[in-house]
Every structure is written in C-alpha cells, then in structure tokens.
Chains A and B, each alone.
Chain A
Amino acid sequence: MTTVEESAPAPEPAAAPEERPIGYGRLRRKEDPRFVRGKGHYVDDIQLPGMLHGAVLRSPLAHARIVSIDTSAAESHPKVKAVITGATLEGLGLAWMPTLSMDTQAVLATDKVRFQGQEVAFVVAEDHYAARDAVELIDVEYEPLDPVIDARHALDPGAPVIRDDQEGRTDNHIFDWEAGDKAATDAVFARADVVVTQDMLYPRVHPAPLETCGCVADMDPVEGKLTLWETTQAPHAHRTLYAMVAGLPEHKIRVVSPDIGGGFGNKVGIYPGYVCAVVGSILTGKPVKWVEDRSENLMSTSFARDYHMHGEIAATRDGRILAVRVDVLADHGAFNGTAQPTKYPAGFFHIFTGSYDIEAAHCKVTGVYTNKAPGGVAYACSFRVTEAVYLIERMVDCLADELGEDPAELRMKNLLRPEQFPYHNKTGWEYDSGDYPTTLRKALDVAGYQELRREQAERRERGELMGVGVSFFTETVGAGPRAHMDILGLGMADGCELRIHPTGKAVLRISVQSQGQGHETTFAQIVAEELGIPPEDIEVVHGDTDQTPFGLGTYGSRSTPVSGAAAAVVARKVRDKSRIIAGAMLEIAPDDLEWEKGRWLVKGDPGNARTIQEIALAAHGVLELPEGVEGHLEATTVYNPPNLTYPYGAYICVVDVDPGTGAVKVRRFVAVDDCGTRINPTIIEGQVHGGLADGVGMALMEIIAFDEDGNCLSGSFMDYLLPTALEVPAWELDHTVTPSPHHPIGAKGIGESATVGSPAAVVNAVMDAIGVRHADMPLTPGRVWQAMHGGVGAPQ
C-alpha cells in the first residue's frame, strides 16, 4: 500500500506547453483567466436594480442590559427605508437563531448584549453612506454589567451569568467532554520514569479572509422565492437552515456562493447580518446588500482556538513516550457557535496522541461562556486538530528538553511504524495509512538537519541565537461517515452529478464550493483521469443550490476526501455505462472490452475501439440499447466516506532571534507533506504555501486580544497582524505519497495540513533558539525578550 515517490525538486520543471495532462498533473488553473482580468465575481460586485444597503449597529460594551433603543432619528433620515431591531425580529420569531452547536444566538439583541460588537440594530437605506450615517442616529441606553473576560474565571462562584436567557441557568458552563481511558492513562503515568507538565494557551486568532463576509438578499414577492448571494462555504447547509429557521419552503430558497475571497472557516456559519438582510428584503420588497467592514469581521465573526491547555507527557528515561494527558478549558465566547460534527463538542481534538505509538491517553475538555464573540472552530483548523497538533508537538519538545535529547531523534524513536497501519489510536481513531519515518527522514535530509545543528553550535559560540524546530503532524480530515458525523442532523455525505453531452463535453455538478482551492480545475482533472475527457472539456458547476446536488460544503479539508471521491465514483458509474453502450456499438459483450483512458477497446483487437466521445453521441442517438439500459450518458452519486483520511507531514523551521530585541526572523521552512494521491501538484504546493504563512502568522503575530472590560484590542489590521512577503521565507517543499486505502483515488486532502502543522515548528524553533521551555504565542519581539529574561510575557 505504501509507496514513496522520489524526491522532486521544487518547483518541478514545467511541462512543455503542448503537453496537456488529461487527468492528474500540473494543469494551469481554469479559474485564472477571469481572476487575472479582474473579472472574478464576488458578493460585493453584485449590483441589482433598486438594491438597498444594510448596516449593523453594534454594541460598544461587552456585557450590558439594554434599557431602551430609540430609532426615531434614524427612521426619519430621508434615505432610510427600514430600521430593524430585536423587537422587530421578535415579532417574526427571528430574534434568536440556532447555532451549529445546538445553542442559540441572538440575531439582534433583545435583552442584553453579551460581547463587544454584538448586533443590536440593522438599518436599510438607499445607499451605503446613508446606511452608515443612520446607524449613528440610533440611540441605545445600556446598563453596564460585569463582564467575564478571562475563561479561567468563567466558572468562579458568583461569576456573572452570561446566558441568563436560558431558563434555570446559574453558571457559564457549556459542556464537559472526555476521550480516552482515564484509569489506564493514570496508571501509566504512575509508573513512568519521567513526567513533564506544561500549561499552554493557543490564543484566540481569526481567519481574516481578505474578503469580509456579506450577502445580497433578494426576496421576489411575486414568486415568493428568496435568492441569497452569500459568502458561504456551505450553501446547501445554509439553505436548509434558513428553511428550518425562517419557515421559508426550501424549494423557494436559492443560495448562491459566487467567487469567494478566501474562507478558512470564517464563512461556514450563518451570521446575524445575513438574517437581517433577508428580513430587510422581505420588509422593503427590494434586494438588500450587507457587507461587513474589517472591524466587524474581526470583532464579531468566527474566531478560532482560545484553548487553555494543561498538558502532561509520560515517558521512559530512554525516551519512549508512554502516555499523554490533557485538560482543556475552551473559551467559546457568548454563544456556543462552533461549527463541527454534532457529536464532537471539542471537534477532533482527541487526535492529540499525534503521530506516536503510545500506550494510553486521556483528555478532558470543558467549554465555557465568556463575554467575547462566538465561534471557535475556524481558520483551517480541521475541527481543532490544530490545537491537538500544537499540544502534542510542544509536549514532545518539552520532553526532549527534559531528557536532553535531540527533538528529531526523539520523534523518530516514537513515530508509528508503517506496519502498524491501519492504526487504532487510544482515543478511538483509525489512521488509514502512513509511512512516517520516511517522511521525517526526508524532511531532515532536505533541511540538512545535522549541518544546521553544527551551524547552530558555532553561532552560539558567537552569542547568536539560532533555532531549529521540528514538528510532525497527523491530520484527520474529510468528515465524515454519516453514522458518526452530522451537523444539526444533516449527514456529512456529499452528492455529485456528471452529465456527458452528446458531443462528448461534460458538466460536473458538485456539492462543495471553492474559496480559492481551484475546484474548477482539480475536479475536472478527477473526471478526466477516470474518463479521458480533457479537463478543458469539463465544466465544473458549484456554489449554487439550484444547480448542484446537496452536500455539506467546503471546510475541514473535506472537498477532495468527500466530494472528490464522489466525483471519481460518479465518473466510474459513467464509465461502466459507457462500456455497455460501447458493447452495443461494437456488437460485442461488454466483458470483452477493456478500458484505456478515453476509450473502450476490444480485448485482443485494440484497433477496434470506441472513444468516450463517440459513445456519448451514440448514447444520445438512435442506437439500440440492451434491455433495461436507458439512453444518455450521465450518473449521480452520494458519497458516504467509510472513514476519515489522515494526511501527515514533517516540518522543519529555522529561525534567528535578535538577542537584544527578541525579534524573530524565519530564515527557512522545510515542509514535507503526504496527502496521498496528488491530483494537481501545483495546487497542492499552493495550499501548503498558504498554510505555512498562516503558521508563521499565528506563531509570531496574530492574536485577538481583549482588555479587562472586554474591549477588543484587535479590531483592525493595524492590530490584528498578518504576515507580509517580508516575514515569510521562500518555502522549501517536498513530499511522499501514501495513498488512502479506503478512498476511491487514494487522495487525503491538503487544504489545512500546513496551517495545522506549522505553528508548532515555528514555536519549537524559537524556544530552541532562546533556550526556554515554553512561551505562548504570538511570539512578538516583546514576548520573546520577556521569555528570555524569565518573564511570562507581556499582556496579549
């Protein structure tokens, strides 16, 4: 099962222009010609006749009772068409909406505001300027309440109760959740030679796609049909939820997700602004556009992480890892709005055993409310695998520090061995395939690890601080099997439809939606590989619920593992049918035909063949078909994955730290990924590059911080810092290929690997440079300097 490809230099040499891969390979993206001309079509590009503009009034306070709202001045603004408050929505039964975690969230606040930036009122006006002006005319009287900002005090006796809208609630506790065997784990810890304990915070961060969230809602009062253009990663799930919540018939709702300017998990949930725009359109009879500004995006939409983790690792004195134990305090903000499979309130965090062969593991996660924005699962996190990988990869480095062992060697010693797959870990996961030691060895070779260690020693002699950080991650993506995984009762299987036109061109309709991943290219390549139809002859339709089959959308690296599998399966169905038709054309039994990419040929007589294009025409023609075979050439499928897929990789980061200022420079970053079968290597590399930049950003500069009153200190790009071209190195990529045994084409998904795997490598490198066991992200110059001088770091 395991094959390892020879190392390919990056970038691999471009194919000659006349070479056009019909199937997998380095195909230029089909999307690019429109984007490089500025002809992408994003939500804010939409202009409809008579369209009105919405703007949201937000709470300036983190926790306060609403005494009164006076909208009269706003309503008398000459360009204002409607002012919507919580009271308006209450009349429609829409003041509260369900979250993706079976909680409720206020659409517009009625009783209290529970975080700074919470939605309080919505103005609809003739133009964007007037809507913004009128928001300022609304007068809200608040009675301030004590906020809960530090999650570590959310469960204190006497802490202010945030969710007093829930009857009988007396505290801020959301859930306790456990995985693994506590007794067995405790027993291993009791007999271990070495136990290392470390507290760490994975800070609150934000996906911050460059396009903010927004929508255009257009309710046609005659047809009773709502068309909603949304920045959504999950158009079908949104349509169903709108139907359930608003009572609109589902066939009268069309959700369109046009070109999306990046998602990263930020565009999974339903935000109050969308609901308000829909209500605005219903009330005014006109289309209503609402697009949030950057501050609204950073302060109110899905954040990520905010996990306070207490980690413990047990090992033998000679460096055999025995067990891992974790206690997590999860800050979910004011409403539990995390987006993950329903049965997993901590997402897939319990894959924190990572890539290692250990005897026992246990975790406990406690979720709490605080007076901060809701969210928690976002930012390419694979449902909290990010937190899990960071935890285990930091703990392994802490253990290496304790034992005085080289962190790469310690990992090599403990990695799962190829013969252990499929591997059942101690918290219930079945890893599908892997050859971890080969991948780590390759990363060490590409980096020149031994040479780096020599250089580091020399520089230390000169007082220079150089660090080398290693991380090895195992992802679990492609949610997921219907038996275990659903979101609000919707199973996580995805549909797909393929139709071959009479002339042999094709249209593939998929349920997932691209936010830049290049689905129009890779999905065409999947079909091309199966049928031999050139990718340029295959139109991929996505993002429009009226045009595509049902499915749960693009997040958690699930497009290729789930929907990609569906595309391969549906293409194989078409191929099977084309065999029967080819048999009829050649007047030969289908079993006597064999497939060669693009055509069926007669066994033993290869000159006698029918191409897929010829077969398509015949299927639509007058050819007499065998009994029970319908005409035309098309198929549909719904793919229910038998298991998740487990991409993995080995990352090595080299940093230099300025001893006088604490400033960190990432000098090199080597990433060796294994995502199974590689459909388009160019697109895969692009996905990895982007994720590595995320990792550098989170490790060094990104944080959503609050002051003690709950004021968000990171409400613009002046304070929520994202890396530029000057903070990231020229990435050095390589790969191994270990196909997934249960996936139709062996592909595992790559969208989030680098975001998940890279932060630990950067932090490990910085700790290695400064000789400190642990400091929390983000490692800004000030925090690094503080760590070097024995401090715990400045606030934020």
Chain B
Amino acid sequence: MQVTINVNGEDRSADVEARHLLVRFLRDDLGLTGTHWGCDTSNCGTCVVLMDGEPVKSCTVLAAMAAGHEVRTVEGLEGPDGLDPVQQGFIEKHGLQCGFCTPGMMMTARALLDRNPDPSEDEIREAISGQLCRCTGYLNIVRAVQWAAQHPAEAEQAPAQTAGSAA
C-alpha cells in the first residue's frame, strides 16, 4: 500500500506492506537511520520520534497508521541556525556514550521543553522514564536537558567548532 507521511517537514511516500513499522519506514525507505530500535516490546524507547509533536515509540506504530501525520526525527532537530539546544546540551554535559539511545532521548527532551521550558529534575526523569540507557546512568542526560532549558537560543553551530574544545 502507498503511504505518505510528513517527515521533518516534507511529504515522503513509499509503497509498503501493511505490517511495515514506522521505524522501518524511516530507516529502510527514507534512510533516516538516526532512529534506532532495541527491543520488540516497546520498552527500550530507542525508536522514539515525535508524531504530531508528541513522543511515540515508532516500533509500535505502523507506517500506515502514521500516514497523514507529521513525524519529526533526530535528523530534523538541527535548524538553519545550528544545533538544537538539546543537541548542544548532550554534547556539553556528556549526555551520551554509545549514542544508541541518544536520538530518542533528545526527541523526548525537545517535546518536554516545548511544553515545559523549565522542567524540574523529577519532571525530566519522568519524561525519559520510557527510554533505557545502558551507558550514562541517566544523570548526564538529565543535566543535558537542564542545559538545554537554560540555553533556549544559544545552540552553537557546526561540529568542527564544538568537537575537541573544552567542555
């Protein structure tokens, strides 16, 4: 069946099986491999994307169900002026190690900050509680989101300038 989903602001279409999962549509058909998968039971949250602005687990949404909706992935976070503050916060606060859970965590953080620009630590922990991280023990993810909340428009630019500079 033909499905059309607005992904990161653009209508994207593909001919897919009804059982095609949204995460596979993003990864296999659109090549947006920043969205990962890590389980089959909607527990790990590495597949989280925003659907109509809210975090959903894209391994438990059929591509067909997402047709006609707006989906935003990690590839849609960076704007013309540079990284989203959430992305910069993860760099500044060492909020990632292997990077596998990171896109999902960042999408949830973006949705949280859109609704609540100044979340408490408890609110951040609650927001990411449907997503697992095996590397960071979560503290630096919390700090990364706090950094983003404190720097709403200060996202820096380009990797060349940020990589290898002092944290």
Contact = CB atoms under 8 A, between A and B. Distances in A.
Q: Do chains A and B touch in the complex (CB under 8 A)?
A: yes
A294 B41 contact: yes
A694 B137 CA distance: 8
Interface string B73-91: 1110110000100011011
B50 interface: no
Interface stretch (A32-40, A305-313, A406-414): A32-40
Interface string A3-44: 000000001001111011100011111111111111111101
A260 interface: yes
B164 A30 contact: yes
Given A36-B90, A717-B43, A717-B44, A28 B165 contact: yes
Contacts of B48: none
Contact of A37 (B87, B97, B125, B135): B87
A768 B36 CA distance: 41
A45 to B, nearest CB: 4
A211 B36 contact: yes
Contacts of A726: 125-126, 129
Contacts of A34: 99, 159
Nearest to A15: B166
Contacts of B92: 14, 28
Interface in A37-62: 37-42, 44-45, 47
A11 B95 CA distance: 13
B106 to A, nearest CB: 7
Given A36-B96, A693-B138, A20 B34 contact: no
B119 to A, nearest CB: 12
A730 B139 contact: yes
A690 B75 contact: no
A730 B121 contact: yes
B98 interface: yes
Interface string B120-133: 01001110111111
Contacts of A716: 39-41, 43
B39 A211 contact: no
Contacts of A516: 96-100, 135
A39 B100 contact: no
Given A209-B134, A728-B137, A686 B125 contact: no
A16 B167 CA distance: 8
B13 interface: no
Question: Which of A32, A34, A688, A726 is the most central at the interface, judged by chain B CB atoms within 10 Å of its CB?
Answer: A32
A535 B137 contact: no
A211 B94 contact: no
A366 to B, nearest CB: 32
B164 A535 contact: yes
Question: Which of A45, A210, A716 is the most central at the interface, judged by chain B CB atoms within 10 Å of its CB?
Answer: A210
Interface string A719-738: 00010111010110000000
B38 interface: yes
A40 B94 contact: no
A672 to B, nearest CB: 16
B159 to A, nearest CB: 3
Contacts of A259: 98-99
A35 B138 contact: no
Query: Would you call the interface of chain B mostly helix, strand, loop, or mixed?
Result: loop
Contacts of B164: 20, 27-28, 30, 521, 524, 534-536
Interface in B13-65: 17, 19, 24, 27-28, 31-41, 43-44, 46
Contacts of A129: 17, 19
Contact of A293 (B40, B46, B128, B162): B40
A495 B129 CA distance: 42
Contacts of A207: 134
Contacts of B32: 38
B136 interface: yes
A643 B137 CA distance: 31
A130 B65 CA distance: 22
Given A685-B94, A686-B94, A726-B125, A35 B102 contact: yes
A376 B38 CA distance: 22
A259 B31 CA distance: 17
Contacts of A222: none
A682 B165 CA distance: 13
Contacts of A28: 91-92, 162-167
Interface in A360-384: none
Contacts of B40: 293-295, 716
Contacts of A30: 163-164
B71 interface: no
A757 interface: no
Question: Which of A11, A28, A294, A295 is the most central at the interface, judged by chain B CB atoms within 10 Å of its CB?
Answer: A28
Contacts of A16: 166
Given A28-B164, A36-B106, A294-B40, A722 B137 contact: no
A518 interface: yes
A48 to B, nearest CB: 13
A535 B163 CA distance: 9
B140 interface: yes
B12 interface: no
Given A210-B133, A211-B38, A262-B134, A37 B74 contact: yes
Contacts of A31: 99
A111 B136 CA distance: 44
Contact of A690 (B43, B106, B137): B137
B39 to A, nearest CB: 4
A36 B87 contact: yes
Contacts of B100: 40, 42, 209-211, 261-262, 516
Contact of A717 (B39, B96, B98): B39
A515 interface: yes
A290 to B, nearest CB: 15
Interface in B105-126: 106, 121, 124-126
B34 A38 contact: yes
A616 interface: no
Given A37-B75, A690-B97, A21 B166 contact: yes
28 contacts: A11-B143, A20-B165, A20-B166, A25-B166, A28-B164, A28-B167, A32-B90, A32-B91, A32-B96, A32-B99, A33-B163, A38-B32, A38-B73, A38-B77, A44-B33, A208-B134, A210-B100, A211-B36, A259-B99, A261-B98, A516-B98, A518-B97, A536-B163, A689-B138, A690-B97, A717-B41, A717-B132, A730-B121
Given A262-B134, A683-B94, A716-B39, 12 more contacts: A14-B167, A28-B162, A29-B163, A34-B99, A42-B36, A261-B38, A687-B97, A690-B136, A717-B132, A724-B130, A724-B138, A725-B125
